Structure 1
Amino acid sequence: MKSFKFLAMSIMISSLLAFTAACGNGGGGAEGGQTEENGGSEEAAALEGEVAIDGSSTVQPIGEAISEEFNMEYADVKAPIGVSGTGGGFERFTAGETDISQASRPIKDEEKAKAEEAGIEYTEFEVAKDGLSVVVNKENDFVDKLSVEDLKKLWIDDGKTKKWSDINPEWPDEEIAFFSPGTDSGTYDYFNEVILEDEQIVKAATLSEDDNVLVKGVTSNPNGIAYFGYAYYLENKDNLKVVPIVNEEGKAVEPTNETVESGDYNPLSRPLYIYVNNASLKDKEQVYEYVNFYLENAGEMAEAVGYVSLPQEDYDEQLKELEGLK
């Protein structure tokens, strides 16, 4: 997601600088100057240390937006965002190496067991929603919708070369080019759970942890197909065609903010999470303040980088839960 990440960050930083300049010009008094000079408060100036974060590349843009803004207020706290993938992030988290793990799927039973063995207690917070987007080449004028069964026929390996005509006899007798997130990705895990159901993904698929590779693959091949997070589709929508998915009610639905939030875009809508080490919340003030800041701003940041925010009351309830963990 590199190109999207940098674009989102550039836009956000420019907005923040403009906002800071406006505040400085409008304040004019000693109080306004003091706020700018001291970074907001004595408490902010006193807070320092690091917050160790790793995990999902899907959640990465939200985390990086949060860290950028958090650093504006708490200049001496470092909160870099690692991108080991959801599985890699949980591996580090359950080993006690990180304070926060960003995830595009819930923690698995085996990961819970590792955390328990290591004596790590944690809390799950939902921060946004995403809709896995299935995309084809812009020139593809025959795929107007796909059902879950169609997706299974497409993506589950059967030992044969896959052609569009295998899915629908009226479609071209052309070999399909598949592009998928890598197996360490939470996006792959979710697709595996909902579509593959632990069956072998088509062996001809190109797997990559870099969403740019998937986009380039589809845009350069008229018979390409891929899937990835909604935010990345939005960033590249001028060069891709998104495919409506037939939901549980039998209606073909495109991923949009409205259909993802309402649940109409099923079964490919999913929640996005952060998992927080409870001991870090209690022992490291910077971690508590970071998570508090995250939940206070997650909705706005999620929308800014292309995901779907939760209802405000959901964030409010989680903030109360967080306060009880301190």
Structure 2
Amino acid sequence: MRTPTFIIVVLFFGCSFSGCLGDQQEVSEIPNVSNQPITIPEDIDENAITMAGSSTVYPLATAWASSFMQTNSQTSVYVAGGGSSAGASRVCSTGQDHVDIGDMSRGWKAIEASRQGNSRNYTCANSDVEVTQIPIALDGITVIVKRGGAAAECIERLGGLSIAQLRWIYSDWTDEDLAYSSEADLDMASVTSNNDGDTNREWSDLSDDPACSTQSINLWGADSESGTYEYFGENVFCRKCFLREYGYAEESFDGNRGYQSSAEDNAIISALIEDEYAIAYVGYAYFAESSSELLAVPIVDHETMGATDVISEGGEAIIPTEDSIRSLNYTPLSREIYMNVDVSSWDKVRPFFQYGFSADGQLDVSSVGYVPLPENIRQEALELIN
């Protein structure tokens, strides 16, 4: 995985960006501290490009920025994290925290912006800012466990995990809810064939195979500001329940069983490497960087039965790879990831996107671990850019 050249800039109160950075032409990470919004000072060069948002998009954003500035030294590019929700709010902002590009690993919510017809153009809900959604790559949310650990051994015996089993593992609904709710209807005899009936969820509940430990399943994943969190929740849980739509019982990640979340994918990776009983989900690029220490769980796209039974009936467990993500065979966890451009910034940011969609820019997509867009979507993106 190619490591882009960038510096981490810590902003202390009273330290302006110009004072911290000087004239350095490098990609700068703007720290996103919880409950302390980071603003971009007015004295930044008006030609500088600013972007913030998704931690999933971040590796590609920094790779493009680093490469772009090597041949465009007159233009500074500032890249911040913060999650997809931050990307949406900051590109829509009319305040000092406004950015030219909002990075997101999910689509827009109705409370954030309204779509203009069937286009990729949106009008922000809380301002008059209009944005264009540019798909930049494909990602496959990758379910991971420690390679060679107890969880990996159990999953290998099962042949993978089904969407139903992922739901049982992460959901805050009880076994009875999952079995009898009209919004679930899981076949629990298939999903957890060795369930001991207690309130703990252990690897051994999934199978009586000796490889499946009686240890509890330790849960890791993205935090609630992340587009990865929302995409995973919408596609694994009851979507309307996860979105808290009226008339549906709420369903989410099980905090009572210790769901641990982080805005930093690398923190999740580190936790998994240290815990053989843990399971997590991250963007494919983060898994690819640590694949020697982590196992990507094969996923069976079945919402009511366990992986072993589905496979025995001719179903298939799909491992996330560049091919399975591009072909969308890795369902339902393949997705587009986006950069959303304030339309008033197009003259400034267009050269940046022209680099991103050049041959070299597309090599960056692969080098950081993501999948280049299919040709039809790539052409659509180029039309939006040009």
Report the TM-score, using the length of structure 1 for normalisation: 0.80
Question: Of residues 66, 79, 98 in structure 2, which corresponds to 1:81?
Answer: 79
Structure 1 position 313, deviation (Å) = 4.9
Structure 2 equivalent of residue 150 of structure 1: 165
Alpha-carbon distance in structure 2 between the residues aligned to 1:316 and 1:300: 17
Alpha-carbon distance in structure 1 between the residues aligned to 2:134 and 2:315: 32
Alpha-carbon distance in structure 1 between the residues aligned to 2:362 and 2:301: 26
Alpha-carbon distance in structure 2 between the residues aligned to 1:93 and 1:314: 23
| Structure 2 CA distance for partners of 1:317 and 1:176, relative to 1, 3 Å | closer
Equivalent residues of 2:266, 2:286 under 8 A apart: no
Alpha-carbon distance in structure 2 between the residues aligned to 1:292 and 1:241: 35
Mean Cα deviation higher: 285-294 or 64-73: 285-294
Structure 1 equivalent of residue 344 of structure 2: 279
Secondary structure of 1:267's partner?
coil
Deviations 1:244-264 (A, max 9, x none): 000369310100000000111
| Structure 2 CA distance for partners of 1:250 and 1:50, relative to 1, 3 Å | same
Q: Which amino acid aligns with 1:300?
A: L
Matched, 1:131 2:196: no
Question: Of residues 62, 69, 72 in structure 1, which corresponds to 2:70?
Answer: 72
Equivalent residues of 2:111, 2:125 under 8 A apart: no
Q: Which amino acid aligns with 1:257?
A: E
Structure 1 equivalent of residue 248 of structure 2: none
Equivalent residues of 2:154, 2:203 under 8 A apart: no
Deviations 1:68-108 (A, max 9, x none): 11111211211111101101111111213111111111111
Mean Cα deviation higher: 72-81 or 294-303: 294-303
Structure 1 position 181, deviation (Å) = 1.2
Question: Of residues 49, 52, 57 in structure 2, which corresponds to 1:51?
Answer: 49
Q: Which amino acid aligns with 1:200?
A: S
Mean Cα deviation higher: 153-162 or 101-110: 153-162
Question: Of residues 302, 317, 322 in structure 1, which corresponds to 2:365?
Answer: 302
Alpha-carbon distance in structure 2 between the residues aligned to 1:158 and 1:116: 33
Structure 1 position 147, deviation (Å) = 0.2
Structure 2 equivalent of residue 105 of structure 1: 106
Structure 1 equivalent of residue 216 of structure 2: 175
Deviations 1:157-189 (A, max 9, x none): 246332112333433221111111111111111
Alpha-carbon distance in structure 1 between the residues aligned to 2:208 and 2:61: 45
Structure 1 position 136, deviation (Å) = 1.3
Structure 2 equivalent of residue 162 of structure 1: 201
Alpha-carbon distance in structure 2 between the residues aligned to 1:129 and 1:298: 14
Gaps of 5+ in 2: 6-44, 115-122, 175-198, 243-250, 303-313
Structure 1 equivalent of residue 260 of structure 2: 206
Deviations 1:303-324 (A, max 9, x none): 011110013453333222322x
Question: Of residues 321, 344, 355 in structure 2, which corresponds to 1:256?
Answer: 321
Q: Give the count of matched residue pairs.
A: 280
Structure 1 equivalent of residue 60 of structure 2: 62
Structure 1 position 125, deviation (Å) = 1.1
Secondary structure of 2:106's partner?
coil
Q: Which amino acid aligns with 1:79?
A: V
Q: Which amino acid aligns with 1:173?
A: T
Root mean square deviation of aligned Cα: 2.2
Alpha-carbon distance in structure 2 between the residues aligned to 1:89 and 1:48: 20
Structure 2 equivalent of residue 120 of structure 1: 129
Secondary structure of 1:8's partner?
coil
Structure 2 equivalent of residue 42 of structure 1: none
Equivalent residues of 1:128, 1:299 under 8 A apart: no
Equivalent residues of 1:298, 1:309 under 8 A apart: no
Alpha-carbon distance in structure 1 between the residues aligned to 2:253 and 2:376: 39
Q: Which amino acid aligns with 1:69?
A: S
Secondary structure of 2:355's partner?
helix
Structure 1 position 291, deviation (Å) = 2.7
Alpha-carbon distance in structure 2 between the residues aligned to 1:294 and 1:149: 38
| Structure 2 CA distance for partners of 1:232 and 1:320, relative to 1, 3 Å | same
Greater fraction of residues in helix: 1
Q: Which amino acid aligns with 1:172?
A: S
Matched, 1:189 2:230: yes
Equivalent residues of 2:138, 2:372 under 8 A apart: yes
Alpha-carbon distance in structure 2 between the residues aligned to 1:287 and 1:264: 33
Structure 1 equivalent of residue 379 of structure 2: 316
Matched, 1:8 2:3: yes
Secondary structure of 2:132's partner?
strand
Q: Which amino acid aligns with 1:109?
A: A
Structure 2 equivalent of residue 93 of structure 1: 91
Equivalent residues of 2:202, 2:215 under 8 A apart: yes
Equivalent residues of 1:136, 1:218 under 8 A apart: yes
Equivalent residues of 1:154, 1:167 under 8 A apart: no
Equivalent residues of 2:319, 2:330 under 8 A apart: yes
| Structure 2 CA distance for partners of 1:267 and 1:142, relative to 1, 3 Å | same
| Structure 2 CA distance for partners of 1:220 and 1:117, relative to 1, 3 Å | closer
Secondary structure of 2:136's partner?
strand
Alpha-carbon distance in structure 1 between the residues aligned to 2:269 and 2:324: 23
Alpha-carbon distance in structure 2 between the residues aligned to 1:245 and 1:205: 21
Alpha-carbon distance in structure 1 between the residues aligned to 2:125 and 2:204: 49
Equivalent residues of 1:48, 1:74 under 8 A apart: no
Alpha-carbon distance in structure 2 between the residues aligned to 1:98 and 1:265: 33
